[in-house]
Chain A
Amino acid sequence: MSAWSNHLVLVPILLPLLAGSAMLLYDERRRALKAAINLAATFALMLTTVALLATAAEGIPPQVYLLGDWPAPFGIVVVLDRLSAMMLALTSVLGMAAVLFSLARWHRAGVHFHPLFQFLLMGVNGAFLTGDLFNLFVFFEVMLAASYGLVLHGSGIARVKAGLQYIAVNLIAASLFLVGVSLIYGVTGTLNMADLAVRTAEIAAEDRGLLHAGAAILGIAFLIKAGMWPLGFWLPTTYVAAVPPVAAAIAIMTKVGVYVLLRLSLLVSAGDGVEGSSLFATTLLLYGGMATIAFGMAGILAAQDTARIACFSILVSSGTLLAAIGTGRTDVTAAALFYLVSSTVAVSTFFMLIDLVERGREFGADMLALTREAFGGPDAVEGEEDEEVGIPVPGIMAMLGISFMACAVLLAGLPPLSGFIAKFALLSGLIGRADAGTAAGITATTWTFVALLILSGLATVIAMARAGIRSLWGPEERAVPRVRVIEMAPIAGLLLLCVALTVQAGPVLAYMQATARAIHAPDQYVGSVMKAPRTRPDPAEGSR
C-alpha cells in the first residue's frame, strides 16, 4: 500500500475542517462561492469515503493511523474498520443529498449555513473514526456545536425555543460523558478503546463496580443522543423545528450514539472474562429499545403533521437498533446494521420530501387546523421566497406521490424495498437462531420484540397512508407545487440508493455480517491498534 492511500483515512476529518475554515474567511455576501466550496468539498468527501469503504470491504484488518507517530496506547489513533467505513459512507451520501437540496432555497434562510454544515460533517466523521474516548468527546462537541447552529438556521420563535432545550439537554449529556470518561480513566488508566478492551479484563474485583458506574454514565450520554425512551423527548421537537435539509443531515446524529454504544459495549465486554460483568447493560438496552419503539409508535399514530411522523420514525428506528444491540447476537447485529442504513436513508429522504409535498398546501386548509392553532401555528418564518428560477420538474405530483409511497414502504418495512429486507433479516435473526438449538427456545422477550417490530410497521403504514391521502389525494383546492430539479434529484438519488440496496441485498448483507462478526470478536481490532507499526523506528532507543 502506498503512503498516499495511508493518509486517505484522515481526509474525512481534514477536508471538512479546511473547507469550513476557508469559507469563514469569505463575506456572507459571497454565498455562491460558499455554496460551490461546500458542494465540492462534500462531493470530494463522498468519493473519499466510498474509496475507503471499498478498501475496508476487501477484508484487510482495520487500518490504523498513528497521529504524530506516537505508539498506540499513548498517542491518539484514528482507526478505520468495516463499521466506521460504512458509517462514513452513509454520512457523506446523506450530506451530499442535504447540500444539494439546501441549494434550492434553504441555504438562504440564514447566515453561515455552509461552514456549519462542513463542521457538522467533520464532527460526525471524527466520531466514527477516532479510537480514543476523549477524542470522541471532542468530536461529539464539534458535531453538536455545529448542529446547534444548524438547528437555529432560519431563526424564528419555534426554532429558538426548540434550540434552547436541545442545547440544554446536550450540555447535560456532555457533562455525563465527561464524568463517565474520567471514571473509566480513573479505574483503568487508559482512554484508548483498544487498550480499554485489554485492561478491563485485568480490573480487580473491588474496582469493577466503579468501572460499571463509569460505563453506565457514559452509556446514558449516548442514549440521550440516540433518543432512548425516557431520554429522547427533546428529539421530535428539535427535528420538526429544524429546516428540512438540516433535519435530513442531522438524522445521522442519532446513529452516532447507536454506533458508539455498539462499538464500546462489545469492545469492553469482549475483553471481559467475568460472568455477570460482560453484557451487563444489554438487558437495559433491550428493554429500553423496546420501550422506545412503543413510544415512537404511539407518536407516529398521534402525529398531526407529516414532519412529526418522520421524527417519531427516527425514534422507532433508534429503538429497533438499541433493542437489536441488546440481544447481543451476531446475526441480529448484522441485520440491525442493514436496518440502520436503510432506515436512516429513508428518514432523511422523507424529511426533504415533506418539504416539497407540503409546499403547495395552505396551512389553513388542513383538516386539523384548529388543533394546530391551539398548539402554536406553523412557523411563519420561511426561507426567502425565491422567484423560482431553474427548471421545474414535469409531472411533479406523480413523482412526489411515488416518492412518498416509496418512503412509506421503506419506513414501514414492506416489500419490495430494502426496509423489508432489513426487517426480515432482523426477524429471521431473532427467531431463526432459537430454532437452531438453544434449549430455552424463543423467550417471551424475543416474542415481544418481534411483535413490536411488526406492530411498528403497521403503525407506520396507517400514519403514512393517512398523511399521504391528506396531502396528495385530498379534494382540497391546491396549487401544484413548483419543484426544481435540484430539489428532486437528491430525493430520487437516495431512493435509487435504497433500490440498489434491495437489488444488491446479498453482497451488502454479506458485508454487514462480516462487520458484525468483526465487532463481536474484536481481537483483530485490538491487535491492529496495539501493534500498529510506527513509520520510523524509535530514535530514543539508540541514544539512551
Chain B
Amino acid sequence: MELVVAIGIGVLAGSGVWLLLRPRTFQVIIGLSLISYAVNLFIFGMGRLRTGVPPIIEPGTVGNIALHDDPLPQALVLTAIVIAFATTALFLVVLLAARGLTGTDHVDGRERDQT
C-alpha cells in the first residue's frame, strides 16, 4: 500500500510540476491543483497509512495507540483542502481577468513572437 500511495503522490506531483512550467495559464492552474492533491495525500501519509482502525476513542474506554489511527493529519488535510480550493478559485478569477485584459492566455500576458 505504501508503494502505491508513494507512486501516486509522485506521479501527481511530477505531472503538476511539469504543467506548472507550461506557458498557458490553464495548464498552470491544473498543475497547481495536481500539486495540491499530491500535498494532501502526502499530509495524509504522514499520519502513517493504516486501514480499518478508528481515529477516535470510544467514550468510557481507555485508548491504545496501537489500535487507533492518527486523527490530526486528517483534520489538517481538511483545512488544507478548503484553503487550496479557495485560492485556486481566486486564481481562476485572476486568470480570466488576465485573459480578458491581455487577449492571450500566455502567462507573460503576450505571445512569444510578439514583442
User: Could you tell me which A residues sit within 8 Å of B by CB distance?
Assistant: 134, 137-138, 141, 144-145, 148, 152, 155-157, 160-161, 163-165, 167-168, 171-172, 174-175, 178-179, 181-183, 185-186, 191
- Please indicate the chain B residues that have their CB under 8 angstroms from the CB of A156 in the complex: 101
Given A145-B90, A164-B95, A167-B90, are A157 and B109 also a contact pair (CB < 8 Å)?
yes
Main SS of the interface on chain B? helix
Q: How far is the CA of A148 from the CA of B86 in the complex (A)?
A: 12
Q: Are A138 and B79 in contact, with the CB atoms below 8 A?
A: yes
- Please indicate the chain A residues that have their CB under 8 angstroms from the CB of B83 in the complex: 137-138, 141, 174
In the assembled complex, the CB of B109 is this many whole angstroms from the nearest CB of chain A, namely 4
User: Could you tell me which B residues sit within 8 Å of A by CB distance?
Assistant: 20, 25, 28, 32, 35-36, 39, 42-43, 45-48, 72-73, 76, 79-80, 83-84, 86-88, 90-91, 94-95, 97-98, 101-102, 107-109
- Please indicate the chain A residues that have their CB under 8 angstroms from the CB of B28 in the complex: 168
Q: Are A160 and B97 in contact, with the CB atoms below 8 A?
A: yes
Q: Are A171 and B97 in contact, with the CB atoms below 8 A?
A: no
- Please indicate the chain A residues that have their CB under 8 angstroms from the CB of B108 in the complex: 161
Q: How far is the CA of A171 from the CA of B36 in the complex (A)?
A: 9
Closest A-B pairs by Cβ, 3 of them: A186-B46, A182-B43, A182-B46
Q: Are B91 and A171 in contact, with the CB atoms below 8 A?
A: yes
- Please indicate the chain A residues that have their CB under 8 angstroms from the CB of B72 in the complex: 185, 191
Contact of A160 among B42, B80, B94 (CB under 8 A): B94
Q: Are A182 and B94 in contact, with the CB atoms below 8 A?
A: no
- Please indicate the chain B residues that have their CB under 8 angstroms from the CB of A174 in the complex: 83-84, 87
- Please indicate the chain A residues that have their CB under 8 angstroms from the CB of B84 in the complex: 171, 174
Q: List 5 A-B contacts (CB under 8 A).
A: A148-B94, A157-B102, A164-B91, A178-B42, A185-B46
- Please indicate the chain B residues that have their CB under 8 angstroms from the CB of A144 in the complex: 87
Q: How far is the CA of A326 from the CA of B73 in the complex (A)?
A: 32
Q: Are A157 and B101 in contact, with the CB atoms below 8 A?
A: yes
Q: Are A161 and B42 in contact, with the CB atoms below 8 A?
A: no
Q: Are A178 and B43 in contact, with the CB atoms below 8 A?
A: yes
In the assembled complex, the CB of A517 is this many whole angstroms from the nearest CB of chain B, namely 34
Contact of A164 among B45, B86, B94 (CB under 8 A): B94
Q: Are A168 and B32 in contact, with the CB atoms below 8 A?
A: yes
**Chain A residue at minimum C-beta to C-beta distance from B16:** A175
**Chain B residue at minimum C-beta to C-beta distance from A187:** B46
- Please indicate the chain B residues that have their CB under 8 angstroms from the CB of A181 in the complex: 76
**Chain B residue at minimum C-beta to C-beta distance from A155:** B97
Q: How far is the CA of A165 from the CA of B32 in the complex (A)?
A: 13
In the assembled complex, the CB of B45 is this many whole angstroms from the nearest CB of chain A, namely 8
In the assembled complex, the CB of B6 is this many whole angstroms from the nearest CB of chain A, namely 13
**Chain B residue at minimum C-beta to C-beta distance from A186:** B46
Q: Are B79 and A160 in contact, with the CB atoms below 8 A?
A: no
